[in-house]
Amino acid sequence: MSIISLDSVRYSYKSKYQTVNAVNGISYEFEKGLVYAIVGSSGSGKSTLLSLMAALDFPAEGDVNVDGTSTRSMDCDEYRRDKVAVIYQNFNLLAKLTVLENVELPLELRKTHKTDAAATAKKMLRNVGLDEEYERRFPAMLSGGEQQRVAIARALASGADIILADEPTGNLDEENTEKVADILVSLAHDQKKCVIIVTHDMNVAAKADEVLKMQDGRLV
């Protein structure tokens, strides 16, 4: 059974001179336990589609449904806090917080007790291969690959069943790309998350269970 489904989803950007159909009537179902890679040229609508699934915006037509409920009719703040986590190419870590504090953040937003939040955050850091020596470092003290692993640990700490990754390896070298891709695959296969990755890297896409190509706002 799908955890997130798209039902004839359309979204357009309008300017004074033109209308761009970024997402043009897409229907698809995504299941837990699988990795999906969405590939395609720049401007094909990949990141827009991811934003709609994260409920950062709503379709002009059609619906994004999560467990059968349209994002239009749910508390989207609660949805983004509890059910979906987004991992970005530029990591989006808070520079003034330590590694541990960055990972604790989604738990604190859910009013988790400080002791429990710290214990969970430490566990998530271990899950992505970062040991105790990293906990008190600040993001600027980490390599790109390490920062991305912290971002993944933060996503894990949220407890979300849906992981949306927008070019998560775009700023990484080949070795760290491999590590991050393997972690994302493990989240789906071992922890039964639904992992959806927008990527230009065909080596990353090759690790997915399903590869979807976007072209002119459509899945082809």
Whichever domain contains 184, its CATH number is 3.40.50.300
Is 162 among the domain residues?
Answer: yes
Is 24 among the domain residues?
Answer: no
Where residue 119 falls among pLDDT bands split at 50, 70, 90?
very high
Taking each helix axis from N to C end, the angle separating 114-127 and 144-157, rounded to the nearest 10 degrees, works out to 130
Residues in contact with 117: Cβ distance below 8 Å, sequence separation at least 6, in sequence order: 104, 107, 108, 157
In the chain, how many domains are there?
1
Q: How many CB atoms lie within 10 A of CB 175?
A: 9
Is 25 among the domain residues?
Answer: no
Range of the domain at 111: 35-58+72-219
Q: What is the pLDDT of residue 110?
A: 84
Query: Residue 112 forms beta bridges with which residues?
Result: none
Is 165 among the domain residues?
Answer: yes
Mean pLDDT of the chain: 92
Q: What is the pTM of this model?
A: 0.90
pLDDT one-digit tens code per residue, 48-91: 999 999 999 999 999 999 999 999 999 998 999 889 999 988 88
Instruction: Fill in the DSSP letter of residue 24.
Output: E
Please state the separation of Cα 51 from the chain's center in Å: 10
Is 41 among the domain residues?
Answer: yes
Q: What is the pLDDT of residue 181?
A: 92
Locate the DSSP E strands across the chain: 2-14, 19-31, 35-39, 61-66, 69-70, 84-88, 162-166, 194-198, 210-215, 218-219
- % of the chain beyond a pLDDT of 90: 74
Do residues 110 and 81 make contact, with C-beta atoms less than 8 angstroms apart?
Answer: yes
Distance of alpha carbon 47 from alpha carbon 25, whole angstroms: 16
